[in-house]
Amino acid sequence: MSLLEDLHEVRRPRPTGAIPVGLLGLPERTVKVHVTASVGPRWLHEVVAGLERLRPGRCEEAVPEQVLVDALYALMQFLPPDATAPDVAPTGNGGVQFEWHRGGWDVEVEFHHRDAHAWMENLGSGERSSGALTDRLDDLRATMRVVNSY
């Protein structure tokens, strides 16, 4: 089954306009989700392929389905549609991490059940910013515009 092609039930947070409410500790509800392969940002297919490899039953460091869905939903909230796809990796403790290393920047966003953190570093100036995704969302959006201008 594919996150892109299959209609399936997943635990999906109610939309907040910013990030998944599951990451904010608010109640979740079950809905049917279907994403078609012909729509979406240019990075979508590469990211979904990376997330597919982390689904339960597909690798030793499988990530719970809800974390994968929350991570994809949150990524759509801060990553420009024309951006470069991140590297996708398991965190080793049931989470998923997106990473970008380009244009003199290191950016990492890590998702766990009900928890998400962002870390950004400008390698030229040494300037760093990190914290809960809910607190760093505006900084992350601005940084991703810079990172993707290279």
Tell me how far apart the terminal alpha carbons of the chain are, to the nearest angstrom. Answer: 35
Closest CA to 118 of 17, 44, 18, 10: 18
In a domain, 33, yes or no: yes
Q: Which domain holds residue 138?
A: 8-147
pLDDT tens per residue across span 128-147:
999 999 999 999 999 999 99
Average pLDDT over residues 98-105: 94
Average pLDDT of every residue of the chain? 79
Residue 42, CA distances (Å) to 48, 92, 93, 116 in order:
11, 28, 29, 23
pLDDT tens per residue across span 45-69:
899 999 998 888 787 788 888 899 8
Domain count, the chain: 1
Amino acid (one-letter) located at 148 = N
The reported pLDDT for the residue numbered 10 is 44
In a domain, 2, yes or no: no
The reported pLDDT for the residue numbered 144 is 93
In a domain, 65, yes or no: yes
In a domain, 15, yes or no: yes
In a domain, 3, yes or no: no
pTM value is 0.74
